[in-house]
A and B are shown apart, each in its own frame.
Chain A
Amino acid sequence: MVTITLDELIRKTLHKNGLPLHYYLPYLLFAKDGLKELKFTVLPCDNTVELTLDSRKEATLPADFVGEVAVYKAEGDKLIELPHNYLISTFDSPSAFPKELQINGADASTYIDEFGNDLAGDFGRINPRTDGYRIIPELNKIRLDNNSDLTKVYLKYVTLPKKTSNKTLVHPFIEPALTAYINWQVAFYTVNDRTVMLKRAEYYNQRRLAKINLYKINITDILTSFRMYHNQAVKS
């Protein structure tokens, strides 16, 4: 895949703005911030990893994990997306759960398993959900339902911009947007409000253009453009 390095982009932007190499570091700071923002908004999907679950049905998140896009299980030659389950306990170990807890006079273990998972949600279900997952950022873990029989899951996640031997790579489609972001930030710290607003508008135009180049237009984009200058939703 064709990419350019952040270094090339900064040098080109400095040249366009008629500045010497002495402004490299401020531009590098703005470029890194801009690239992170574009990575999280325009280029969200970045990496996929296979995670092996332990006996507790959990796995440690990758070191470069920022946020999840989706979690899949393998079924034959297909990947099936797993649902979220926000009822999965966030207790780190069984001992953290107070076993003496009583619910309606009955032993809590009737309703809650040894890890603190609520069992009542599945009561009466013929096919209780077994493969839901929960990302637990404070533990840096992904955890599946305790009764899942999966041993591996596939995590698609957002990560920080990629580097090759300490050189940050930039997707060609987002190059104009990133340049516009740098110019906006430079203007923000140096010149008057009107110029800042113009540069800001230019950045958002370029970001939209990058998104159009990368993906098909979707319903969210259409609604966003319809409601751009309105604070309220359309009333039915």
Chain B
Amino acid sequence: MSTRLSIAEQIQRDYKRWLGEEGSLKEAIDRREVFPLINQVANELLGLQMQNGFKTGSIIIPSTIIATYSNHAVKQEHGRYYALLPVFPLSLPRNVGIFSVIPQSGAPLVDGKPFIPLTQEDWDLLRDTDEGLLEDQIGYYVEGRQVFFTKNPLVTVVKFKLLISDPALMGDGDPYPITPEIEATLIERVLAILKGNTSKQPTPKSQDR
């Protein structure tokens, strides 16, 4: 199974091969430069993969890219309850990037039933209607980094499940949370950026030189 380290090493080897005899080890790219590029390109590819799924009407969410952030405090301000997003997830229709917000209570923490996701427009339009009661359930909507609840969530902490490839959640040797089918594309895209070529189709190696 690929790890971020193994992907980075493969990119380094390919890059060095591309530099060939003209290049030297000094010119070889540092791993610390490759890691952020891998994360950025991985999120871009995952976002595109999901967007294409939405266009065809099928919403298949690879569970490998769900990042979990537990034990986040619920705060109150001017009668509104909210929690802060730990990171910004993938931008997808109907805020699917925020896969779920789950109440947590007890010690040890136990997950409850997920809150109902709404968009800001939904809540503005329907907050005073019967539908706004959400069948006696609690919803949430997002404003910037704040996740507001439609009423008191009755818990002090929540868990976020976000669609993102977050480097903070994994070590270099951990399995990298991308689907295998986009791994090759990820390496190609990172190499293309390193070579100064931002096109999505890197040119063959023989022509690169």
Contacts and interface: CB of A to CB of B under 8 A. Distances in A.
Among A19, A21, A29, the one with the most B-chain Cβ atoms within 10 Å of its Cβ is A21
B136 A20 contact: no
A4 B183 CA distance: 45
A32 interface: yes
Contacts of B201: none
B134 A22 contact: no
Given A19-B59, A32-B131, A24 B117 contact: yes
Contacts of A10: 135
B100 to A, nearest CB: 7
A18 B135 contact: no
The 8 closest A-B pairs by CB, nearest first: A166-B136, A22-B94, A7-B135, A22-B117, A25-B122, A24-B116, A22-B96, A167-B136
If over half of B's interface residues share one DSSP class (helix, strand or loop), that class is named, otherwise mixed; here it is loop
10 contacts: A5-B135, A6-B135, A10-B135, A18-B59, A18-B60, A19-B59, A22-B95, A24-B134, A32-B130, A167-B135
A23 B139 CA distance: 12
Contacts of B114: 21
A20 B135 contact: no
B134 A28 contact: yes
A127 interface: no
A29 B59 contact: no
Contacts of B130: 32
Given A7-B137, A25-B116, A165-B136, A20 B131 contact: no
Interface string A47-79: 000000000000000000000000000000000
Contact of A18 (B58, B117, B122, B139): B58
Chain A, interface residues (CB within 8 Å), range: 20 to 34
Contacts of A5: 135
A173 B133 CA distance: 25
Nearest to B99: A20
A115 B47 CA distance: 72
A146 interface: no
A109 interface: no
Interface residues of B, number: 24
B182 interface: no
B103 to A, nearest CB: 14
Interface string B186-201: 0000000000000000
A171 B139 CA distance: 26
Interface of A: 5-7, 10, 18-25, 28-29, 32, 165-168, 190-191
A124 B95 CA distance: 74
B109 interface: no
Contact of A20 (B61, B122, B126, B139): B61
A10 to B, nearest CB: 8
A191 B114 CA distance: 29
B144 to A, nearest CB: 19
B118 interface: yes
A162 to B, nearest CB: 13
A183 B137 CA distance: 23
Nearest to A25: B122
Contacts of A21: 100, 114, 116-117
Interface string B135-147: 1110100000000
Contacts of B94: 22-23
Given A18-B59, A19-B59, A167-B136, A28 B96 contact: no
Contacts of A25: 116, 118, 122, 126, 131, 134, 139
